[in-house]
Chain A
Amino acid sequence: MAEPYLIGDAMTGGYGGADILHGCTIAVEKGQIAVIVGPNGAGKSTAMKAVFGMLKLRQGQVRLDGEDITTLTPQARVAKGMGFVPQTHNIFTSMTVEENLEMGAFIRRDDMAETMAQVYDLFPILKQKRLQPAGELSGGQRQQVAVGRALMTKPKVLMLDEPTAGVSPIVMDELFDRIIEVARTGISILMVEQNARQALQIADKGYVLVQGANRFTDTGKALMADPEVRRSFLGG
């Protein structure tokens, strides 16, 4: 099998002190959606941050398109084509929606108008509210700003840390639809989700983590169908 587009291979490490990840492997293919689920404290967000270079690995590698990027800083990874949407504090609240998008494209020196138009096509509500401070928007709209900001660098991989945390079920469905749309444009999506059931439904690949290690790895559908996964992690 060919190497996945982005892979965190057998990652071991933590925030100094005890290891949180124990030989954990997370990967995503081009244009696909990979979802990390698992119980609280399983190291889901930690695994994501490790892939993005926000914590030091003691063992293992991160490779993007075959290139070893294990030692690169998060900023350098952004330049390599990775976008990251943190779970909280993921927008500039005092700045307008449009300024948020501009700041997302800060490393680009070329014309960003086209990318901004694409983001507005994807999230039409943001175009309406583009001159409003992002902090005044609703939770779902703020998440759209956060995703839009990350898309402004034209990333090849978009990493989302619990994009639907704290939004209503209707908004959650809508956000998932948008995420599928993003993936259809050829951008790989790697995301951590609390709402495991809904997330696995749209996932090409699912990773169930327990205590910092892979417990189950399969397609989203197969995991949903697996009686053990259902019983232990999806509530029956």
Chain B
Amino acid sequence: MDILNALVAFTNFVFVPALAYGAQLALGALGVTLIYGILRFSNFAHGDTMAFGTMVTILVTWWFQSMGINFGVLPTALLALPFGILGTALFVLGTDRVVYRFYRQKKAAPVVLVMVSMGVMFVMNGVVRLIIGVEDQQFADGGRFVISAGDFKAATGLAEGLAIKSSQAITVGAAVLVVAWLFWFLQKTRTGKSMRAFSDNEDLALLSGINPDRVVAVTWIIAAALATIAGTLYGLDKSFKPFTYFQLLLPIFAAAIVGGLGSPLGAIAGGFVIAFSEVIVTYAWKKVVTYVVPESLAPDGLVQLLTTDYKFAVSFVILIIVLLVMPTGLFKGKSV
């Protein structure tokens, strides 16, 4: 029995990675839920918006690196992030002007807009692959670890090490800042309140003199910023590959729906629910279990419920259970 080592192993292999992954999903799901609440459709292009934003950020990062600009221990990508957000915002505003606005004026049904967003998704997908290619891209620089496993072992004398990557710490820190800012914006500012009013009751918002074009534009800009930040953090934490970002769409939608579509608080809760479930179900628990049970009961197998190849199945199962049992999600969003 060695509770302490078990706890450290759990924190190292489950809690910290899931926390960082959850923060990335939460930021992605926030964008999806905002678009759903205000523009009233499920934006399938969100994963590829993340890829586009990350791509712009990476290109600017490389340019900065080639000029010798860096951010000390922090990744250069954080310096490039504002440019990524700007580029992505311009791209989605352009998309809205050319594509979505046409359907909005025709008052197209939400399902039509969903199909339109799939078209946009394929186009963005192609644009990203044309520009940066389909390969894995590494762009993280700066300090690698806040605490490395070796330092932790030396400091505590435990057999298990706890490593916290700087990308994980940055992810969680950035997510907290972004979420705090977003809630302040939606709750306290005139523009934020008008967005909530528009989401709540569009006709009455129009009667109150709220300008729908402005609400739509601000929503796209915020969604683009959230997508770029989420994508860049995910890329720093793992790596950037366009196909992976396309696949992220599933856990992100699962997170938004589990939390309740249209509810920002739900998107955050949903992000962590999905991330923790995915990591817990696909983690091989052998090490942790061996520490807590008597030696005679130590497992022979890996004690892994599913291999990581099946991690998307976890989001799928949670998604289906929520849709069957609790269609409006944990935080009473709109039913799908």
Contact = CB atoms under 8 A, between A and B. Distances in A.
**Chain A interface residue number, banded:** 20 to 34
Nearest to A105: B208
Contacts of A89: 201, 203-204
A86 B194 CA distance: 19
A78 B201 contact: no
Given A95-B196, A103-B193, A84 B201 contact: no
B200 to A, nearest CB: 4
A195 B22 CA distance: 55
A75 interface: yes
Interface residues of B, number: 16
B204 A102 contact: no
B323 interface: no
Interface in A51-77: 74-75
Nearest to A79: B209
Contacts, number: 57
A74 B206 contact: yes
B324 interface: no
A89 B209 CA distance: 16
Interface string B169-195: 000000000000000000000100110
B193 A107 contact: no
Contacts of A90: 204
B210 A106 contact: yes
B210 A103 contact: yes
A91 interface: yes
Contacts of B205: 92, 103
A198 interface: no
A116 to B, nearest CB: 14
Interface of B: 190, 193-194, 196-197, 199-201, 203-210
Given A91-B201, A107-B208, 17 more contacts: A74-B207, A75-B207, A75-B209, A78-B207, A84-B207, A86-B204, A89-B201, A90-B204, A91-B204, A92-B196, A92-B200, A93-B200, A93-B201, A95-B196, A95-B200, A103-B194, A103-B210
Interface of A: 74-75, 78-79, 84, 86, 89-95, 99, 102-104, 106-107, 149, 153
